[in-house]
Structure 1
Amino acid sequence: MQLLGRIELYLAHTETAPTTFSRAATHDPRFVFDLRNGRRPRPATAARIHAWLDRAEARA
């Protein structure tokens, strides 16, 4: 699954605000908004976010 799609599902499921997720996962409060506007993260950043989501989903 694409990164933004996975993030959007996580946000909807957990009712988390985009800025809250962005700060927790990347320390960049605009990360989700930038992705929605076409930002393409580096492969290492995408892998780090996927790993963060894996851990968050495992805790849920």
Structure 2
Amino acid sequence: RYRLARQLLATTDESIDEIVYLTGFSEPSTFYRAFKRWSSMTPIEYRKTAQGKDVMVDAM
């Protein structure tokens, strides 16, 4: 789930709500908490840092 979430955040313009659904979470708050636990940043923070960079999603 983490790899898919990172890939979607870094390489698509899908909304966070759509990414929540695509990664199998039932609630956005659950996704936010899980993503923060995995990466120490929110999905929005991750998307901002990943945009415009050549992100190696599979390396993480």
Q: Higher relative contact order by CA 8 Å / sep ≥ 6: 1 or 2? A: 2
Verify same fold: TM over 0.5.
no
Higher helix share: 1
Q: TM-score, normalising length from structure 1? A: 0.38
